[in-house]
Amino acid sequence: MLFRDCVILMGLGGLFLVLGLATVIWGKREEKSYFNALSARPGDTREFMEHWPPRPQPGALKLGGWLAIAIGLVMLITGGVLWLVR
Protein backbone atom coordinates (compact mmCIF):
# COMPACT_ATOMS: atom_id res chain seq x y z
CA MET A 1 0.00 0.00 0.00
CA LEU A 2 1.35 3.39 -0.96
CA PHE A 3 2.02 6.20 1.49
CA ARG A 4 -0.50 8.33 -0.41
CA ASP A 5 -3.25 5.77 0.18
CA CYS A 6 -2.60 5.75 3.92
CA VAL A 7 -2.66 9.54 4.08
CA ILE A 8 -5.94 9.66 2.15
CA LEU A 9 -7.48 7.09 4.50
CA MET A 10 -6.32 9.03 7.57
CA GLY A 11 -7.50 12.31 6.04
CA LEU A 12 -10.98 10.93 5.47
CA GLY A 13 -10.97 9.57 9.01
CA GLY A 14 -10.10 13.02 10.32
CA LEU A 15 -12.87 14.55 8.22
CA PHE A 16 -15.41 12.07 9.61
CA LEU A 17 -14.15 12.80 13.12
CA VAL A 18 -14.54 16.57 12.72
CA LEU A 19 -17.98 16.27 11.10
CA GLY A 20 -19.10 13.86 13.81
CA LEU A 21 -18.04 16.22 16.59
CA ALA A 22 -19.81 19.11 14.87
CA THR A 23 -22.99 17.06 14.50
CA VAL A 24 -22.99 15.99 18.16
CA ILE A 25 -22.55 19.61 19.27
CA TRP A 26 -25.31 20.71 16.86
CA GLY A 27 -27.66 18.05 18.26
CA LYS A 28 -26.99 19.12 21.85
CA ARG A 29 -27.64 22.77 20.99
CA GLU A 30 -30.89 21.88 19.17
CA GLU A 31 -32.06 19.81 22.12
CA LYS A 32 -31.25 22.59 24.58
CA SER A 33 -33.03 25.24 22.51
CA TYR A 34 -36.08 22.97 22.07
CA PHE A 35 -36.45 22.32 25.79
CA ASN A 36 -35.79 25.96 26.64
CA ALA A 37 -38.52 27.02 24.21
CA LEU A 38 -40.95 24.54 25.76
CA SER A 39 -40.17 25.58 29.30
CA ALA A 40 -40.65 29.26 28.48
CA ARG A 41 -44.33 28.72 27.64
CA PRO A 42 -46.32 28.35 30.83
CA GLY A 43 -48.89 25.59 30.98
CA ASP A 44 -48.14 24.10 27.56
CA THR A 45 -47.07 20.59 28.46
CA ARG A 46 -49.13 18.81 25.84
CA GLU A 47 -46.50 19.42 23.15
CA PHE A 48 -43.81 18.16 25.52
CA MET A 49 -45.71 14.99 26.44
CA GLU A 50 -47.15 14.05 23.03
CA HIS A 51 -44.36 15.44 20.82
CA TRP A 52 -46.91 17.11 18.58
CA PRO A 53 -46.32 18.84 16.20
CA PRO A 54 -43.51 16.56 15.09
CA ARG A 55 -40.05 18.09 14.90
CA PRO A 56 -36.72 16.64 13.83
CA GLN A 57 -35.34 14.86 16.83
CA PRO A 58 -32.00 16.16 18.12
CA GLY A 59 -31.25 12.61 19.24
CA ALA A 60 -30.89 11.61 15.59
CA LEU A 61 -28.25 14.30 15.11
CA LYS A 62 -26.34 13.12 18.15
CA LEU A 63 -26.55 9.45 17.14
CA GLY A 64 -25.35 10.23 13.63
CA GLY A 65 -22.49 12.23 15.08
CA TRP A 66 -21.38 9.37 17.33
CA LEU A 67 -21.51 6.99 14.35
CA ALA A 68 -19.39 9.37 12.28
CA ILE A 69 -16.90 9.66 15.16
CA ALA A 70 -16.65 5.86 15.41
CA ILE A 71 -16.13 5.50 11.65
CA GLY A 72 -13.54 8.29 11.68
CA LEU A 73 -11.58 6.69 14.50
CA VAL A 74 -11.59 3.31 12.74
CA MET A 75 -10.34 4.93 9.54
CA LEU A 76 -7.62 6.86 11.38
CA ILE A 77 -6.42 3.76 13.22
CA THR A 78 -6.52 1.63 10.07
CA GLY A 79 -4.57 4.21 8.07
CA GLY A 80 -2.00 4.55 10.83
CA VAL A 81 -1.51 0.80 11.17
CA LEU A 82 -1.20 0.34 7.40
CA TRP A 83 1.30 3.19 7.25
CA LEU A 84 3.43 1.59 9.98
CA VAL A 85 3.23 -1.89 8.44
CA ARG A 86 4.17 -0.91 4.90
Q: Which of 85, 73, 79, 58 is nearest to 18 (CA)?
A: 73
pLDDT at 53: 65
User: Tens place of pLDDT for every residue, the chain, 86 residues?
Assistant: 688 999 999 999 999 999 999 999 999 998 888 778 777 776 666 666 766 666 667 889 999 999 999 999 999 999 999 999 97
Q: What pTM did the predictor assign? A: 0.80
Given this model, what pLDDT does residue 33 score? 86
**Which pLDDT does position 34 carry in this prediction?**
78
Q: Which residues contact 39 (CB under 8 A, 6 or more apart)?
A: none
pLDDT at 58: 81
